[in-house]
Amino acid sequence: MRHACGIGGMALESRALSTWHGTALVVGTGGIGSALLEALAERAPDLQLLGASRQRPPNWEDGALADTAFMAVDLTKPCSLDGLQRRLGALPPLRLVINTAGVLHGPDLQPEKRLSQVTQASLATSFDLNAFGPILLAQALESLWPKDQPFHFASLSARVGSIGDNSLGGWYSYRASKAAQNQLLRTLAIEWKRRLPLGCVSLLHPGTTATELSRPFQAGVAPGQLFSPARSANHLLDVLEGLGDDQSGHFWAWDGSAIPW
């Protein structure tokens, strides 16, 4: 079911992305993060964009993001978050933050098929970025949100992080780290409802998307079910555009349907 739009304090018109102004930060400039920045440049021309990842993607300056500011940030390093806070403090007020940094596999990390493959290292790597990263990012940015303007803090989760939706098993570390992120940001949404009531905190599932993160698993995806990063990005912005502070603290799929925790 699509979420309700246009209820609560603000009229739907005032939520239109084209009217958003201030600073938008996208953390993680991989497949979906870069596509989000490109889509924001088109759909929200008054936002000042900043992309952040550990490394600037190699084609950054040659492509559509040539004019977009970039900052090297490692979400798992507190000093890096301090630097990000200082940089953002010198920019127009924050309007939107989308965290897209996440890990599923890597040189020393493979999603587990069975219990015997779970290691302390696989759990720690996954939780460090997927669960601890977003809440520590929120903490670093907390003092920067305007008290009198609406804002969005969104982080990409994954449907497989839903405990209620878990009927297949496997992928222990990834699933559990996304479930932990969901709980941490749900808790954050409750606190910010009191302290920053115009904010909207969201967990977003982008749909299976053709990026480095999904590359090893794309063969099993049904035809038509693998989204381009641009398609995912635009779906996610559609979802955020329809959300207001009255819908803070929920887990949404790319089509605006609510996902059970």
Ligand X SMILES: NC(=O)c1ccc[n+]([C@@H]2O[C@H](COP(=O)([O-])OP(=O)(O)OC[C@H]3O[C@@H](n4cnc5c(N)ncnc54)[C@H](OP(=O)(O)O)[C@@H]3O)[C@@H](O)[C@H]2O)c1
Among 29, 126, 182, 247, binds ligand X (CB under 6 A): 29
Question: Judged by CB under 6 A, does residue 234 bind ligand X?
Answer: no
Among 24, 33, 96, 122, binds ligand X (CB under 6 A): 33
Binders of ligand X among 147-176, rule CB under 6 A? 156, 158
Beta bridge partners of 199: 151
Question: Judged by CB under 6 A, does residue 73 bind ligand X?
Answer: yes
Which residue is at the shortest CB distance from ligand X? 30
Question: Judged by CB under 6 A, does residue 75 bind ligand X?
Answer: yes
**Rounded Cα distance, 54 and 113, in Å:** 29
Closer by beta carbon to ligand X, 156 or else 200: 156
Short-list 80, 77, 59, CA closest to 68: 59
CA angle 165, 169, 174 (to 5 degrees): 85
Closer by beta carbon to ligand X, 58 or else 194: 58
Min CB(217)–ligand X separation in Å = 8
Question: Judged by CB under 6 A, does residue 141 bind ligand X?
Answer: no
**Rounded Cα distance, 127 and 104, in Å:** 11
CB 70 within 8 A of CB 60: yes
Site string (88-107) toward ligand X, x via CB under 6 A:
------------xxxxx---
Question: Judged by CB under 6 A, does residue 208 bind ligand X?
Answer: yes
Q: Which residues bind ligand X (CB under 6 A)?
A: 28-33, 53-55, 73-76, 100-104, 129, 156, 158, 205-206, 208-209, 211-214
